[in-house]
Structure 1
Amino acid sequence: MRRPSKDSSLKLSAEGQRLAGLAQAIVQAASRVEERSLEHHLDSSLQRLLRSGHQDTIDNALNNLFKDDLPAYDVLMEGVEAVSESSFLLEQEDGTEKRYDALLVAAPILAWTRFSIASGPVPADLLSTLSAHFAAHLLSEGTRMAMAPMLFSIDQLPRSHSETYAMTHKLAQAAYKHAAVKLQLKAPETAPFLADTRYLLVAVVVPHGAPIFRWQEPEHQASFQAVRANCLEQWQTQATPNVSRLMPGCGVELLLPEAYYVACREADKLIRPISIRAAVHYLTNTLGVEPNELRAVVAGFGEEESEAQVDEYRVAFTMRQSTDVVYGIVWPLYGQEDEEGTPIEGLVALGELGTQPTPYEEIVACLNEAGVMHIKRHNERFVAEYCDDCGAPLFADPTGELVHPEMPEDAPVGSEHFH
């Protein structure tokens, strides 16, 4: 389950009511036949709205369902993500109409540095090399693909389902036609974090019903996990040197390329512990101290109108004998996570509820692993506030006051980073 946008009070239009009604009907469907029929109608409505850019209609339906019917909200969110990251093409070949399936795939890259993490256009030679490795090590036989000539930061990715839909279709057409991709993007500035994610975006086109990834091929179904792990290893081995050329001065880790939304969420989660390690490394080297001379202050934050919900933890760093916050990182919560550590539904069925650490326990484990043993937790929930001048998040100091992190005046001059 994903959380909706903040503005959720608008009355539903007729199209919005149709979306909500179809999602609720899918939840109540008593058979797969009924469910698939309803999903077909829902997909058709979503395609029409996304194609015409009516994102607000979809958002209003999601917001209303989030308040009143969470199962239907999950169905509609899953539907809009699926429709915006996938498509089908009907092409005339040898006098007959042939259908192709297309999927927008994200190849996430975790990166960390003391300098800056690059983003932006990918040179043609590197794009060709990365595309060749992507196809050779990850994709099934008979696929067509097109990689966007851009290394995306999270701020440069499509910002709505409508924009994702447009990107999917643009790349899918280029993949089918074996054409070069031309993007007319005014890429926004990217904040200089110590640890952050970057993405390569790829559209993959296959004949209708054919496998997309190598581990989905029929001969690998009995051992798909081992094949998938091997594909990832090959992709990492072959592509990492080329990605490193794009991102000088950075440590990088390539994650498994997957469908757009799943890959982005997985990268969002996996960058969090790296952010803590990068922050501790930065502070110990910049201030000339050992990790055990630092103190971490952990506090939960949320929106003012949601008194109980924690949307993120903010981790402030001080020296052990001082209350001055010198640095801070944000640990956002995603999906089913909350301050109590609600796990994904699959673990309920597996009986593994008791083995899942809470987000706070994960943060403590990461801090301890990085050498920070002195940790204070504020049990109260703070309203998420930001600096009026620069927009950076404010962090709770040991006394519970929200402050802007400031490095000591005698620290080496450099860019301030907050993640």
Structure 2
Amino acid sequence: MRRPSKNTSQKLSADSQRLATLAQAIIQAASRLEERNWERQLDTLLRKLLKNDHQDTIDAALDHLFKQESAAYDALMECAEAASESCQIEQDGVLYDALLIAMPILAWTRFSIASGAIPTDVTTTLSAHLHAHMLATETKMVMASALFSIDQLPRNHAETFAFTHRMAQAALKGAALKQPTQAPETAPFLADTRYLLAVVTAVAGEPLFRWQASANLAERDEALAQWNAQAMPNIARLLPGCGIELLLPEAYFVACREGDKQIRPASIRAAVHYLTHTLNVEPSALQAIIGSFGEESTDGRVDEYRIGFTLEKDTDVVYGIVWPLYGEEDDAELQYRSVETSTDPVISADIERKSPIEEILALLEECGIVNVKRHTECFAMEFCDDCGSPLYADMNAELVHAEMPEGAPAGSTHLH
């Protein structure tokens, strides 16, 4: 679930209030017909605001609903995402549906993970594999000639809307896309997600994906297997020195969330691998300190876990990673914390593993980390004033900067 921005105005504009009212009407609808009527009105208003780049109007409504009514917030967020990642375009008298899709790539390394422009021949080959194994036969598509890091993706709904429309026009006209201009730099994480982006179009109402055309959901698994087999050699060329896993290409926002979720376990494994090799120690010589972090305005709700690593019998945090929570995971953590009875700061991982904290404990145990301390308090989400890096809780519950020991070999400076 997206978090509200800070310092938002208390008074909503007319359009923001209308967005909030329509979202509330959707969840109160007594029939599907009524619900769809409210959705059409909401979609029309959203498209108008997105076309005019009025992202602040949408954000204000989302922030208001986040504090007032979570179900209406979810309804508005779902509609805003749909309005920005999909559209309908008329071409030569024919109406087409268009959808922005993302192809998440999980990557981990001790070195660096590439991003940015990719060769045209690689884009052409990957486009052919995507169409052959994922897309319905009669679709048209265009793929961006770039490998995107999260910092290089469209930053909000309005930018996504503009990107989707630009790509959709190119797909329908069969036009070549311009090579991306210089992209923002991305932080050098040891484990991170990269994305290929494409827009797929079909005559309005016709299927976009192969499993839609066949009405056989089992084809999704087969499509993913074929995508991995055929696309992997080309993607490996783009990410030398990296371990790679390809996820299912899906609608943009769903795929991005799935990529963010799935990179988290790889981040822990990459951290332990990096620290043991860089510091020349066994995993058992490391300690992990888990802190819960959240915005001060969310009444103790956990936004993310931050996991700091120290050397055995040392108090200095030498490295840290962030494990953000998404969607239903927020509520799962609240429920877990409400029934948790142990006050012992050293936690056993020998428990049923369902919640994110239990998954973290299981991964640490799998990696050989036997000393784990979890603070019971929820910390404010503090960052370093100088470099912007997140601060981590040390053994004494003080928030500190993660710093490698003096004399440690130089390498990548961040973990996801």
User: Shared fold by TM > 0.5?
Assistant: yes
Please name the residue that 2:168 is paired with. 172
Contact 2:267 2:415 in 1 (8 A): no
Matched residues, number:
401
Contact 2:224 2:248 in 1 (8 A): yes
Please name the residue that 1:196 is paired with. 192
Contact 2:352 2:358 in 1 (8 A): no
Q: 2:328 aligns with which of 333, 336, 343?
A: 336
Which letter does structure 1 place at the counterpart of 2:152?
Q
Displacement after TM superposition at 1:383 (Å): 1.1
Displacement after TM superposition at 1:10 (Å): 3.6
Structure 1: distance between partners of 2:122 and 2:179: 17
Using a 3 Å threshold, how does the CA distance of structure 1 residues 339 and 300 change in structure 2: closer, same or farther?
Answer: farther
Please name the residue that 1:283 is paired with. 275
Please name the residue that 1:392 is paired with. 389
Q: 2:411 aligns with which of 405, 410, 414?
A: 414
Using a 3 Å threshold, how does the CA distance of structure 1 residues 340 and 134 change in structure 2: closer, same or farther?
Answer: closer
Structure 1: distance between partners of 2:293 and 2:223: 39
- Name the TM-score, length of structure 1 as normaliser: 0.92
Please name the residue that 1:78 is paired with. 78
Structure 2: distance between partners of 1:179 and 1:83: 24
User: How do 1:24-39 residues align onto structure 2 when only pairs under 5 Å count?
Assistant: 24-39=24-39
Structure 2: distance between partners of 1:340 and 1:210: 38
Displacement after TM superposition at 1:342 (Å): 6.0
Out of 382-391 and 112-121, give the one that drifted further.
382-391
Displacement after TM superposition at 1:178 (Å): 1.1
Q: 1:181 aligns with which of 165, 177, 180?
A: 177
**2:360 aligned with 1:363, yes or no?**
yes
Contact 2:22 2:38 in 1 (8 A): yes
Please name the residue that 1:9 is paired with. 9
Please name the residue that 2:375 is paired with. 378
Secondary structure at the aligned position of 1:337 is classed as helix
Secondary structure at the aligned position of 2:103 is classed as strand
Please name the residue that 2:67 is paired with. 67
Structure 2: distance between partners of 1:153 and 1:197: 7
Structure 2: distance between partners of 1:252 and 1:324: 32
Secondary structure at the aligned position of 2:148 is classed as strand
Using a 3 Å threshold, how does the CA distance of structure 1 residues 6 and 356 change in structure 2: closer, same or farther?
Answer: farther
Contact 1:339 1:359 in 2 (8 A): no
**Paired-residue identity, %:** 62
Structure 1: distance between partners of 2:4 and 2:130: 34
Structure 2: distance between partners of 1:230 and 1:48: 39
Displacement after TM superposition at 1:38 (Å): 1.4
Please name the residue that 2:246 is paired with. 254
Using a 3 Å threshold, how does the CA distance of structure 1 residues 90 and 356 change in structure 2: closer, same or farther?
Answer: farther
Which letter does structure 2 place at the counterpart of 1:334?
Y
Please name the residue that 1:347 is paired with. none
Structure 1: distance between partners of 2:372 and 2:396: 13
Please name the residue that 2:109 is paired with. 113
Displacement after TM superposition at 1:356 (Å): 6.6
Displacement after TM superposition at 1:260 (Å): 0.4
Structure 1: distance between partners of 2:180 and 2:48: 24
Structure 2: distance between partners of 1:50 and 1:268: 25
Could you give the per-residue CA deviations for residues 160-208 of structure 1, whole angstroms, max 9, x where no partner exists?
1000000100111111111111255441110000000000001000011
Structure 1: distance between partners of 2:411 and 2:74: 44
Q: 2:298 aligns with which of 302, 306, 312?
A: 306
Structure 1: distance between partners of 2:389 and 2:76: 33
Contact 1:168 1:203 in 2 (8 A): yes
Out of 45-54 and 320-329, give the one that drifted further.
320-329
Structure 1: distance between partners of 2:331 and 2:369: 21
Please name the residue that 2:235 is paired with. 243
Q: 1:159 aligns with which of 155, 158, 176?
A: 155
**2:136 aligned with 1:140, yes or no?**
yes
Which letter does structure 1 place at the counterpart of 2:170?
A
User: How do 1:314-353 residues align onto structure 2 when only pairs under 5 Å count?
Assistant: 314-338=306-330, 340-341=332-333
Q: 2:221 aligns with which of 192, 216, 229?
A: 229
Could you give the per-residue CA deviations for residues 350-378 of structure 1, whole angstroms, max 9, x where no partner exists?
xxxx9771211111011111111110001
Structure 2: distance between partners of 1:415 and 1:72: 42
Secondary structure at the aligned position of 1:209 is classed as coil
Q: Which runs of 5+ in 2 are unaligned?
A: 336-350
Displacement after TM superposition at 1:68 (Å): 1.4
Q: Aligned Cα RMSD in Å?
A: 1.6
Please name the residue that 1:104 is paired with. 100
Contact 1:338 1:359 in 2 (8 A): no
Please name the residue that 1:264 is paired with. 256
Structure 2: distance between partners of 1:105 and 1:355: 35
Structure 2: distance between partners of 1:408 and 1:21: 54
Structure 2: distance between partners of 1:324 and 1:131: 48
Structure 1: distance between partners of 2:39 and 2:394: 49
